[in-house]
Amino acid sequence: MGEADVTLNQTDEKPPDSGLVTGDDSVVWSHEVEVCLFHAMIGHKPVGVNRHFHMICIRDKFSQNIGRQVSSSVIWDHLGTMYDMQALHESEILPFPNTEKSFSLPDDIIQEVKEGKLGSEEETKEEFRMEREPPATHEEAELCLMSNLSMSLYTF
């Protein structure tokens, strides 16, 4: 018990050593520091739908380059002084189509939902599982084939 307590206490007291000095969020934006920011931005565009993911990478690389933690909001603020970030974001081409279309469910589906005729989620999962799992035996395969055949004859 004593050995485990000592290990836990040592872990609790010692912060992780990342080699970075944590401090306040103010950064003196000298030319050298801006070059470090630009180097951190290589391959990462902080605009578009993935801008926040890219900013995490930029922040990590930049913090490592200057040797201390810097929040992404400080980087966003500085980029905002150099560029019109909103205009850049809006000019970014989406990697997928994103057109709005009007949509409404067919009335028969809405009626079925209101009347509770649609199966429960568990029934739907069971039906899906039965369709996806191969039969374990030859007899089960024949039974499955016969039921599918009779269902297809019934629906036509």
User: Residue 21 forms beta bridges with which residues?
Assistant: 68
Are 32 and 73 members of one domain? yes
Q: What is the pLDDT at residue 7? A: 37
Asked if residue 25 belongs to a domain, the reply is yes
Cβ-proximal residues to 25 (8 Å cutoff; 6+ apart), any chain: 70, 71, 73, 74
Of the candidates 47, 88, 55, 86, which has an alpha carbon nearest to the alpha carbon of residue 73?
A: 55
- The reply to whether 97 falls in a domain is no
Dig out the tokens for 148 from the structure: 């599918």
Burial-class residue 59 by CB neighbours within 10 Å (0-12, 13-18, 19+). Answer: buried
Tokens of 87: 């205009």
* pLDDT tens-place values along the chain, 156 residues long: 444 443 334 334 433 444 454 455 678 999 999 999 999 999 999 998 889 999 999 999 999 999 999 999 999 999 999 999 888 888 888 777 777 788 888 888 888 888 877 656 666 666 666 666 665 566 666 666 666 555 544 444
- The span from the CA of 40 to the CA of 55, in Å, is 10
Q: Are 65 and 39 in contact (CB under 8 A)?
A: yes
Say whether both 83 and 35 belong to one domain.
yes
Looking at the structure, tell me whether residues 84 and 28 fall in a common domain.
yes
- 45 plus 75 within the same structural domain: yes
- pLDDT for residue 74: 94
Are both 30 and 73 inside the same structural domain? yes
Domain that holds residue 151: 107-155
Is residue 96 one of the residues assigned to a domain?
no
Can you give the pLDDT at residue 93? 80
Res 46: pLDDT: 92
pLDDT of res. 110: 86
Is residue 63 in a domain? yes
* The model scores a pTM over 0.75: no
Q: Please give the tally of structural domains in the chain.
A: 2
Q: Are residues 127 and 86 in the same domain?
A: no
Q: Between helices 51-66 and 31-40, what is the axis angle to 10°?
A: 130
In a domain, residue 3? The reply is no
User: Based on the domain organization, do 135 and 76 belong to the same domain?
Assistant: no
Give the per-residue pLDDT at 152: 47
129 φ/ψ angles, rounded to the nearest 5 degrees: -65, -45
Does any domain span residue 10? no
